[in-house]
Structure 1
Amino acid sequence: MNGRRRLWLASVLAVLLVIGVVLAVVLTRSGQTTAGPTPSSASATPSATPPATKKPSTPPPVPAAPAPPSIANLPAAPMNILVIGSDSNGNAHQEAAQTAATGVPFDQQSDTLMLIHVPADRRMVYGISIMRDTWVNIPGYGAYKVNAGLGLGGIDLTTRTVESLFGIHIDHTVMLDMHGFKVLVDGLGGIDINVPQAFTSTIETQHQFTAGMNHLDGQAALEFVRERHAFADGDYTRVRDNQIFMRALLSKLSGAVRDPVSVLALVNFAANDLTVDGGFDPVSVAILAYGMRTIDPAASVFFTLPNLGTGTSADGQSIVIPDYGAFAAVGAAVRDDTLAQYVAAHGF
């Protein structure tokens, strides 16, 4: 099994950061007033005509201040977003772009994969975690662990792989690497995580986590979401911790998008550390973020895609055996926007 540890940015609402640029412009422009031209002063020369017989000059009207930019509302339709956490210690964006352009694989994996489904009413989100070692067919390459798609063909291949597994269309894909993850959390002023059980990280600083609420900076949060060796069931607990982090992140971002100081502090992150698919420009990201302002993180549901347990591939790799029935059932619920019924039936 690959010795890398993976991170998690679970969530799609990291796209809320880009709306900070739009909000900053709105805040700046709404405070400006454009002054009209100042009439030139008349010279004090004597005149044969008494001043009383002159009509007073009327200054030109002051132009109105420019209207702040508006953010269009999204159409009332469901949306699917794939969130990738790259295990790259370098620049995942550049590595994925080079792989897509040249076909030369990079040594990075999408060690966190979460499909985010946003229902048409935008009152909550559903986050569906896919175990990184799930043994699947990667289009054009054959049988691999699902996390290998990023190194083989960038975010486009990873997106196509997940689309083919669920039989759905993914509207947008976002990706974050380890450096960007820490920048995100530190830019938010840290994050509060309700840790289910005390443990000591086996990674880097070996941070000690206590049971209950912990305020974590970027490094500690990264160790929280990457840790698996400290737990008896390894990656299963790590994925559950990713989902705990995701809910906390959604709550933090929901507050940050209403706080101009926090928003401005995150602009640099959005510009340099968040990778999105080619059709997702900053205006589209802002529209998406604004359209999801009604989401309640506390009501949102996160679950791990059911599987058939662990095993060994023909070439000796430790793998998670896929449950294709679960892929089909979840895919149908995503397409029909009926995940609420699926979740209720399966007790998630």
Structure 2
Amino acid sequence: MTDAPIRKKHVGRWISATIVGLIVLALLAAIGWYFLRINPSVQQVETIETAFPEESLRPEAEEGPSQPVNVLLLGSDSRAADGSLLTDLGDRADTILVAHIPPDRETIQIMSIMRDSWIEIPGHGMGKVNGALALGGVPLMVQTVEGLIDQRIDHVAIIDFEGFEGLTEALGGVTVDNDLAFSYQGFDYPQGEITLQGEEALIYVRARYPFSDGDYQRTHNQRAFLRGMMSQLMTRENMTNPNRIADIFATVSPYVATTDTVDLGTALSLGPSMAGISGSQIQTFTMPTRGTGMEGSQSVVYINQDGLAEVQAAFDEESMTTFQPAPER
């Protein structure tokens, strides 16, 4: 009489263990399939072999279950003759952005750093921020930006603007809220919501000559484009569909170089927690400045140190759902 309950208990445990085992196997199979599906595209992504400065020169790594994620994005204007995005990068990367993802994963902040920003470059005195690339490559640029935001950079990505053409087509176009109408190189960009594809998108993010304030409006437009692109990328449909992600990644991968910190594990850990972030939760702004001036023969942009301190404090918070960037310019 006492054996039946024991047998039932053992059978129940066996069934539970079997179900758990099947779930684990299914999960592993899904991850394996995902990796095989996306792996050919991964092989096309150029790796930035040396991207970070010596550990002693960096902010301390924070500990805990959920930490902010900071990605340094460098925009390259054209691919070098040898096909590498890293060749002569100091002469070609004229777009610098920091994407900040707070610990609560409820918003994304994209901050432009004006390429002519007059700052202290570690070990080299005052200079334009873009000069860090020419003076010390990506590691010095990372160290310089870490000093500006007072946080660690976790990942670095270099994007060839040529890749924007294919990416916009893979997304079926990117809808941008264009606040200033202009025409350039045969394309018209009216004020308001516009959908960009192919070469039209590439010209939009590159244009600076149509504007009286040049780089200010160009960086503003680049962030508007990124905001629209990320809103479309980060729909739940995309972020939870391995086929869709693989197809998009395959389109853009030949035009991207990243650190080896950007891997499948990173995608699997960040993707689900950020699925469904809407356009209103993606904030874009310029690192606070106080206008332009001259340093010798160089035209430079001066940093608003009080405004920068506010950004540093906001980046250090658990959540940035109430953060409001200061008005630009």
Asked if TM exceeds 0.5, the reply is: yes
Contact 1:86–1:175 at 8 Å: present in 2 too?
yes
Q: Distance in 2 between matches of 1:91 and 1:161?
A: 28
1:67-89 Cα distance to aligned partner (Å, 9 max, x none): 13367xx9433222222212233
Quote the residue 2:166 is aligned against.
Answer: 183
Where has structure 1 moved over 6 Å in runs of 4 or more?
none
Max Rg structure: 1
Asked if 1:169 corresponds to 2:152, the answer is: yes
Quote the residue 1:328 is aligned against.
Answer: 309
Quote the residue 1:122 is aligned against.
Answer: 105
SS of the aligned residue for 1:170 comes to: coil
SS of the aligned residue for 1:83 comes to: strand
Amino acid at match of 1:295: I
Alpha-carbon shift at residue 264 of structure 1 (Å):
3.7
User: Which stretch shows the higher mean deviation, 125-134 or 74-83?
Assistant: 74-83
Q: 1:93 to 1:276 in 2, by over 3 A?
A: farther
Structure having greater relative contact order (Cα 8 Å, sep ≥ 6): 1
Quote the residue 2:201 is aligned against.
Answer: 221
User: Which structure dedicates a bigger proportion of its chain to strand?
Assistant: 2
Note the aligned Cα RMSD (angstroms). 3.0
1:24-66 Cα distance to aligned partner (Å, 9 max, x none): xxxxxxxxxxxxxxxxxxxxxxxxxxxxxxxxxxxxxxxx795
Q: Distance in 1 between matches of 2:312 and 2:107?
A: 18
Q: Structure 2-normalised TM-score? A: 0.72
What does 1:1-348 correspond to in 2, within 5 Å? 66-69=25-28, 75-90=65-80, 94-96=84-86, 106=89, 108-201=91-184, 205-255=185-235, 256-258=238-240, 262-314=244-296, 316-337=297-318, 339-340=320-321, 343=324, 346=326
SS of the aligned residue for 1:185 comes to: helix
Contact 1:86–1:92 at 8 Å: present in 2 too?
no
Q: 1:294 to 1:188 in 2, by over 3 A?
A: closer
Equivalent pairs, count:
272
Contact 1:109–1:147 at 8 Å: present in 2 too?
no
Q: 1:213 to 1:297 in 2, by over 3 A?
A: closer
Amino acid at match of 2:227: R
Q: Structure 1-normalised TM-score? A: 0.68
SS of the aligned residue for 1:279 comes to: coil
Q: Distance in 1 between matches of 2:175 and 2:222?
A: 13
Q: Distance in 2 between matches of 1:153 and 1:183?
A: 32
Alpha-carbon shift at residue 131 of structure 1 (Å):
1.2
- The gaps in structure 1 that reach 5 residues or longer are 1-63, 99-104
Q: 1:311 to 1:165 in 2, by over 3 A?
A: same
1:210-261 Cα distance to aligned partner (Å, 9 max, x none): 2233221121111111111111222222122122112211111023334566
Q: Distance in 2 between matches of 1:176 and 1:265?
A: 18
Q: Distance in 2 between matches of 1:153 and 1:92?
A: 21
Q: Distance in 1 between matches of 2:137 and 2:315?
A: 24
Contact 2:100–2:109 at 8 Å: present in 1 too?
yes
Amino acid at match of 1:279: T
Alpha-carbon shift at residue 133 of structure 1 (Å):
1.0
Q: What percentage of residue pairs aligned between the two structures are identical?
A: 32
Alpha-carbon shift at residue 92 of structure 1 (Å):
9.9
